[in-house]
Amino acid sequence: MGKPLEHVPHDHATPHDHAACIDQAVRTAADVCAQRGLKLTPVRRRILEIVWRAHAPIGAYDILAELAKERDKAAPPTVYRALEFLIDAGLVHRIDSINAFIGCDEPARAHVAQFLVCRKCHRVVEIDDPGINRLLAEKSLAAGFRIEPTSLEIKGLCGECEDA
Ligand SMILES: [Zn+2]
Ligand SMILES: [Zn+2]
Ligand SMILES: [Zn+2]
């Protein structure tokens, strides 16, 4: 039942050509938007790049600060509207528990993800295992509760913080 977990979280700790990650994210976003008839405007695209500047979540304020370096007028509503678009398009995920945003590796595939959130450094790893959602839905139904698709945020310690 179901596909095996294919999503291998990118290893942020391994040195790699991150510019290529950003390129890939922007190309994928352009494809996804084209397929769905959505418009990836320059500001939306730029904010996506900023979100992807690292394999780490970024807060709205930091996005705004980054954008303000390049544009005279970088108003908070611009950032929030663009983020809303990117989230709705599945290109970016909001991590509620730390009030930050992270780029999605696989926006082409609709999914409800689980996020492992390091409580110390706020590093986030996205896993998305449909089996977890299925199990949760079954258990909830058995408890007489129909849950809505909800991403899960699970706190813990990442490998690096645990070693420290
Ligand atoms: Zn990278
Ligand atoms: Zn995702
Ligand atoms: Zn950590």
Do 155 and 128 fall within a single domain?
yes
Query: Ligand 1 centroid vs 113 CA: distance in angstroms?
Result: 20
Rounded to the nearest angstrom, the distance between the alpha carbon of 115 and the centre of ligand 2 is 9
Interval between CA 143 and ligand 1 midpoint (Å): 42
Length of the chain: 164
Count of structural domains within the chain:
2
Collect all residues with Cβ–Cβ distance below 8 Å to 107 and sequence separation of at least 6.
Answer: 28, 29, 32, 89, 90, 91
Ligand 1 centroid to residue 136 C-alpha, Å: 32
Whether 32 and 86 map to the same domain: the answer is yes
Per-residue pLDDT tens digits for 4-45 = 333 444 556 678 899 999 999 999 999 999 999 999 999 999
34 lies in the same domain as 99: yes
The predicted pLDDT at position 11 comes to 58
Q: In terms of domains, do 101 and 126 share one?
A: no
pLDDT in tens, 88-138: 999 999 999 999 999 999 999 989 899 999 999 999 999 989 899 999 999
Least confident of 47-51, 98-102, 148-152: 148-152
Task: Calculate how far, in angstroms, residue 91's C-alpha sits from the geometric centre of ligand 3.
Answer: 24
* Full residue range of the structural domain in which residue 129 is found: 111-164
Ligand at minimal distance from the CA of 109 is 2
**For residues 18 and 103, what is the distance between their CA atoms, to the nearest angstrom?**
13
